[in-house]
Amino acid sequence: SIISVVHCFYFRGGAELLFDGVKKHQVTLPCQPEPWDIRNLLKWIKQNLLKERPELFMQGESVRPGILVLINDADWELMGELDYKLQDQDNVLFISTLHGG
């Protein structure tokens, strides 16, 4: 059977404001037959964690430009972006580099 895995998601640089100001979320993702990838993770975050203004976090099925994504401190562009398969205990960090006035 597929076990659910625990991950920490961090939101910084203003991104946390879309998540009720909470910077760290420790999450056990529900079991599913396929491994979780970032594409499915973003959908789950949008449905379960995001509190307001999803257009500031997501664009289409990805994060919007200006949000830096780090997986275990490495740029997600080096990890396969949306296709990266989450491993147990992965840390995923979302940093907004957009600063509105």
pTM exceeds cut of 0.85: yes
CATH no. for residue 42?
A: 3.10.20.30
Residues in CB range of 79: below 8 A, 6 or more apart: 71
Domains in the chain, number: 1
pLDDT tens string 52-72: 999 999 999 999 999 999 999
Nearest to 9 by CA among 21, 25, 31: 25
Q: Which residue range is the domain that position 70 belongs to?
A: 6-96
36: number of Cβ within 10 Å: 21
Query: For residue 99, what pLDDT is reported?
Result: 64
Tell whether the model's pLDDT for residue 96 goes beyond 90. Answer: yes
In a domain, 73, yes or no: yes
Which is higher by pLDDT, 88 or 12? 12
